[in-house]
Amino acid sequence: MRVKETEMGDPLPQRCEIVSWHAVHAMARKLAHQVIDSGFRPEIIVAIGRGGLVPGRILSDLLGQMDLTSFKIEHYHHATKLRAARVRYPLAADVAGRRVLLVDDVADSGETFAIALEHLASHGAPAAVKSAVLHYKTVSPYRPDFYARQVRNWRWIIYPWAVAEDVGSCLRAMQPPPADAAQAAQRLAEAHGIRLPRNLLADLLAIIRAAP
């Protein structure tokens, strides 16, 4: 991942994209069709937390596969990459001899999937493993089996379940702090090309100001 820090210490990259809930569900539907059309029939869906939790749950619904579990890999803190990815909360299920669909939100650096596949193998040898993501960034050395969108021009993708985390970290770093939601909206648009409702930005600012 390539993050360009601004002169004000802004933790968000300059190129960002906000993804809506509607777009997430549309991409998940596309993934479900790809899985079905491929002939792969997963016996268990394993979501990589935290990013893969929502896509995994939607795919569980669309594919009619209720056997859904997860484990957590820590890789990024807000939009800043940690020094090394690691499994924080391990997988509790036995996947030996089972067809596994491994789900995450995005394939970016490839490190997450490298660790995830190794972690899966430590819980019994699966009969087969296929991977699915909403976004596949072509800079990634790992190419998922299923992906809804291909991203050729790298940008930081902000999913609807991470707006407060990603944008909130950016607002906290702004110096001087934005006086109100209108000023926050203007600066986010100018620096990152992202636009959010004023009421959401007002909520984020209120949360930041109330924090100890």
pLDDT tens readout for residues 65-105: 999 999 999 865 555 554 567 898 999 999 999 999 999 99
Distances (CA, A) of 195 to 131, 192, 203: 31, 9, 15
C-beta separation of 185 from 201 below 8 A: yes
Please indicate, yes or no, whether residues 54 and 116 belong to a single structural domain of this protein.
yes
Determine the pLDDT at residue 181: 96
Confirm whether 163 is domain-assigned: yes
Confirm whether 105 is domain-assigned: yes
Domain with 145 in it: what CATH number?
3.40.50.2020
Confidence of residue 211 (pLDDT cuts 50, 70, 90): confident
Query: Can you tell me the mean pLDDT for 14-20?
Result: 90
pLDDT at 6 over 60: no
Please indicate, yes or no, whether residues 39 and 141 belong to a single structural domain of this protein.
yes
Please indicate, yes or no, whether residues 35 and 111 belong to a single structural domain of this protein.
yes
User: End of a domain among 137, 155, 173?
Assistant: 155
Please indicate, yes or no, whether residues 120 and 27 belong to a single structural domain of this protein.
yes
pTM greater than the 0.75 cutoff: yes
Mean pLDDT over the full length of the chain: 89
Please indicate, yes or no, whether residues 61 and 149 belong to a single structural domain of this protein.
yes
Confirm whether 181 is domain-assigned: yes
Please indicate, yes or no, whether residues 45 and 109 belong to a single structural domain of this protein.
yes
C-beta separation of 156 from 169 below 8 A: no
Please indicate, yes or no, whether residues 32 and 45 belong to a single structural domain of this protein.
yes
Determine the pLDDT at residue 121: 92
pLDDT at 3 over 50: no
Please indicate, yes or no, whether residues 151 and 166 belong to a single structural domain of this protein.
no
Structural domain containing residue 189: 159-210
What is the number of structural domains in the chain? 2
pLDDT digits (tens, 9 = 90+) for 101-153: 999 999 998 899 999 999 999 998 999 999 999 999 999 999 999 999 999 99
Distances (CA, A) of 212 to 139, 176, 178, 184, 208: 39, 19, 18, 21, 9
